[in-house]
Amino acid sequence: MPELHHGEGEAEQRVLRGLRLGVGLSAVILALEAVGAYFSHSLSLTVDAVHNVPDLLAFGISWFALRETRAGSTSEFTFGKHRLEVFAGLFNGLLILAVGLVFGYEALDALLRAVPFAGPVDAVWLLAAAVPTLLLRAVNLRVLGRLPGRVRDLNLRSVIVHLASDVAITVALLAAGVTLLLRPALVWTDALAAIAIAAILVYESLPLLRGGWEVLTERTPHGLSVASITEAAQSERGVTGVHDVHVWAVCDTLVCLTAHVGVEEMTMAEGMDVIRRLRERMEREFGIVHATFEIEAAPRGAAAPSR
């Protein structure tokens, strides 16, 4: 039987190239925003500049996880290293959450005290960093956003969600910069933008953490129902019953299924045909390409279900 590729193949080369691009662009953005934050004295730009350090780590971890996954299965890792993708997604989510909470507290404190973070904010320097940052992030998001959906596992989704939020963050920076350029007296605008940025970071981390937790606890993947799978399997010709059905995900792109299947009295060749039809149906109707069925002979005289 030919090997089925679970979200891997030529598309992963594009993913790896996209992640390498992400690392390079994030380094450029970090440099731009670090200079801008230093000269602008902006808290919101400082938050985003510091948040670019986890960005670099996130891209690097995601790239490493995908590269390791491409090595395939071994005698030690019989499913391959797909779980690295899940751990990478979780780590990215934790980094985003930590940055959001820490700087959210700092921004709220600055807003309540009505004191500038490090002196009066220079809106020109703020905009000088924010405008090219928006362009670079938009390019990066476009490249990764056009990747085939079948390779968008938790790991890669964590990066795409991260980038989409980064674009929203840069819009907040631009809004703060334009406001301060036109109305310099509104000094609270910078702290308010920093709070908005921190809130975005916290919000984007939650689905990543939830998704990783569900994979690690082997929850039935979203969109799949054990009852529906069992009903579909029982409706196949020659099947008398289905039990001990287990459905879980090694990672988002590798969903596995095992089940015990009772069949009518039949030859070995006929039993193998039942397994083939069950596997084809699981892939066709539920997208499960790694299905294992254990055939059990029904007791002599047992009635087959009506069709």
171, two tokens: 């819009």
The overall average pLDDT reported for the chain is: 80
From residue 41, alpha-carbon distances to 34, 44, 50, 197, 277 in Å are 10, 9, 14, 16, 66
Q: What pLDDT, on the 0 to 100 scale, is given for residue 11?
A: 52
Return d(Cα 227, Cα 224) in angstroms, integer. 9
Q: What pLDDT, on the 0 to 100 scale, is given for residue 305?
A: 47
User: Could you give the domains of the chain?
Assistant: 10-216 (1.20.1510.10), 226-297 (3.30.70.1350)
263, two tokens: 């069949």
Q: Which of 207, 208, 205, 177 is nearest to 102 (CA)?
A: 205
Q: What pLDDT, on the 0 to 100 scale, is given for residue 156?
A: 61
Q: What is the pLDDT of residues 2-27, one digit of tens each?
A: 343 443 445 556 666 766 777 788 88
Q: What pLDDT, on the 0 to 100 scale, is given for residue 272?
A: 92
From residue 158, alpha-carbon distances to 51, 153, 306 in Å are 15, 8, 47
Segments in the chain below pLDDT 70 = 1-16, 18-19, 55, 58-59, 62, 65-66, 69-75, 77-81, 115-119, 144-159, 161-162, 252-253, 298-307
The per-residue b/e assignment along 209-228, b for 16 or more CB within 10 angstroms, e otherwise, is bebbebbeeeebbeebeeee
Q: What is the pLDDT of residues 230-252, one digit of tens each?
A: 999 999 999 999 999 999 888 76
Helix (H) / strand (E) containing 22: helix 10-40
Strand partners, 294: 260
Helices (H) and strands (E) counted in the chain, each on its own, are 8, 3
Using alpha carbons only, give the angle 47, 156, 37 rounded to the nearest 5 degrees. 15
Q: What pLDDT, on the 0 to 100 scale, is given for residue 303?
A: 47
Query: pTM score, two decimals?
Result: 0.67
